[in-house]
Chain A
Amino acid sequence: MRYSGFKVIKEALTGHKGWTPAWRDPEPQSHYDIVIIGGGGHGLATAHYLAKVYGEKKIAVLEKGWIGGGNVGRNTTIVRSNYLLDGNEPFYEMSLKLWEGLEQDLNYNAMISQRGIMNLIHSDAQRDAFVRRGNAMMLNGADAEYLDLDQIKKEYPFLNFDDARFPIKGGLAQRRGGTVRHDAVAWGYARSADSHGVDIIQNCEVTGFRIENGKCLGVETSRGYIGASKVGCAVAGSSGRLMAKANMRLPIESHVLQAFVSEGLKPVLPGVITFGAGHFYVSQSDKGGLVFGGDLDGYNSYAQRGNLPVVEDVCEGGMAIMPMIGRARLLRMWGGIMDMSMDGSPIIDQTHIDGLYFNGGWCYGGFKATPASGMVFAHLLAKDEPHETATAYRFDRFKTGHMIDEKGMGNQPNLH
């Protein structure tokens, strides 16, 4: 069923009796051409592009809980392509372009809002670094704009301009960045994949791999064995746990990241802003809540909840740049498990096991990557070669020294 304004009016007039479920609830078949593990944004996007762009048939997405219950439904919804390094920027810019056409592609309202993102600058050295990043973005076809103090005062008059410790000196803006309704991304991709014949199988946990003579033949699940010619893993924060079942160790640690939402307010914050002297970012959802977050808790964790020291640190960051946030009451907070890689960049590659493919290491920036990640993982699964924007995301880069370390932190995952 296609959604349209006409359809909404027709259903309104006829008692809303014509709506059908957005996707089927099929029983797993005994064998698929391609099985994707993980019904988050990346797994569902991969299935959508496999079926729609690469013409693959007999695809299943296996999800241990319900789709959208992982990080795709827990993030702070920011999308942008303001990266510096060659291995990253073309990939993230492709992702932003895919976001721009996503709602038409999926026939689904994902509330994509290009309200702009601005990174605040607080020192001369930081200005140099940000201007350089802006130049790198423009070289890769993205938009970037340097804002001076007067422009920022005009656009964001409520920021703390009198702070002697962290003076605001300027900003790097990307006007095409913004926010997206995260659950709608999962639902939209699921609905589209389903309409192209993909089986989305929920409450189906992968508990092991059947591997013989170096080849992956299928997966053991809580709903029985499912054979597959190719298996793609896209389980984000659970990557370590899942790949251990194939006896693989990864250059990844799992860490918890928290997010916070205030009570609903009238519109006060036009775009997304980030604090450059600490770690704090904030936007306002269409419902009115201020959505904000900051650093990881900093220790390995699979518990989807964090601890209080980070709550304090995040709130201090907010008060430092935007004192009015202190008047808002905190409504909700939660945590999600991040697959933090050793250089802060993802891995999308074949494994050493024939027929087993891996997508992970998204750190806390994987939501914005969802469309591109799906596209390039579909490309890899369909063609057995990397997509041109993802050639740097290899497993062996840690051996060959081709790390993609945007922050220059080295092999310390909690600092990326």
Chain B
Amino acid sequence: MIINHPLLGPRDSAEFVYLGDASLIERPDPAAETALADFVDYAYMRENPAGSLRELWFHEAGDRSWLVVTRNTMTHEISDVQMARDVARKIGCSK
């Protein structure tokens, strides 16, 4: 698989480490009343779709940036790649 890095261009997926579903960016509020249930859900439950999935890849053997890659789990086709930082900022995370 080739991942089209927004800054570095096309890179071999073997240079990356895979974390999983990009919903991991949205860490629940630890001060919320429902924090325990929220964190169990966040840490352990997954959508696991057959089809399009947004996921986190870390460019370990490259510039060490985190990417959000949209990839089809049936075909391995990659349709979109963004810097995870930009995605996180857009939803209001501080870093």
Residues of A within 8 A of B (CB): 240-241, 244, 249-254, 298-303, 307, 309, 342, 398-399, 411-414
Contact A254–B76 (Cβ < 8 Å): no
Return chain A residues, CB-CB under 8 Å to B46: 240, 249-253
Taking the complex as formed, is B45 at the interface, i.e. its CB lies under 8 A from any CB of chain A? yes
**Distance A406 CA – B30 CA, assembled complex (angstroms):** 29
Q: Can you name 22 A-B residue pairings with CB atoms under 8 Å?
A: A240-B48, A240-B49, A241-B50, A244-B47, A244-B48, A250-B46, A250-B48, A251-B45, A251-B46, A253-B21, A254-B50, A299-B13, A299-B55, A300-B48, A300-B53, A302-B50, A302-B74, A303-B74, A399-B40, A412-B19, A413-B20, A414-B18
Residues of B within 8 A of A (CB): 1, 12-14, 18-21, 40, 43-50, 53, 55, 71, 73-76
Contacts A252-B46, A302-B50, A398-B40; A412 near B74 (Cβ below 8 A): no
| New A-B pairs, 19, CB < 8 Å, besides A240-B48, A240-B50, A398-B43 | A240-B47, A241-B48, A241-B50, A244-B49, A250-B48, A254-B50, A299-B55, A299-B71, A300-B20, A300-B53, A300-B55, A300-B73, A301-B76, A303-B73, A303-B74, A309-B12, A399-B40, A411-B43, A413-B20
Return chain B residues, CB-CB under 8 Å to A398: 40, 43-44
A240 → B minimal CB distance (Å)? 3
Contact A342–B44 (Cβ < 8 Å): yes
Main secondary structure of the interface of B (DSSP, over half): mixed
Contact A299–B18 (Cβ < 8 Å): yes
**Distance A241 CA – B55 CA, assembled complex (angstroms):** 18
Return chain B residues, CB-CB under 8 Å to A250: 45-46, 48
Return chain B residues, CB-CB under 8 Å to A299: 13, 18, 55, 71
Return chain B residues, CB-CB under 8 Å to A411: 43-44
The residue that A307 contacts in the complex, of B13, B43, B45, B71, with Cβ under 8 A, is B13
Contact B44–A251 (Cβ < 8 Å): yes
**Distance A303 CA – B74 CA, assembled complex (angstroms):** 5
Q: Which residue of B lies closest to A307 (CB)?
A: B1
**Distance A251 CA – B41 CA, assembled complex (angstroms):** 9
B6 → A minimal CB distance (Å)? 19
Return chain B residues, CB-CB under 8 Å to A300: 20-21, 48, 53, 55, 73
Return chain B residues, CB-CB under 8 Å to A414: 18, 20
**Distance A302 CA – B21 CA, assembled complex (angstroms):** 15
In the A-B complex, the 5 residue pairs with the smallest Cβ-Cβ separation, listed nearest first, are A240-B48, A309-B14, A398-B44, A302-B50, A251-B44
**Distance A303 CA – B77 CA, assembled complex (angstroms):** 11
Contacts A240-B46, A249-B47, A253-B20; A302 near B73 (Cβ below 8 A): yes
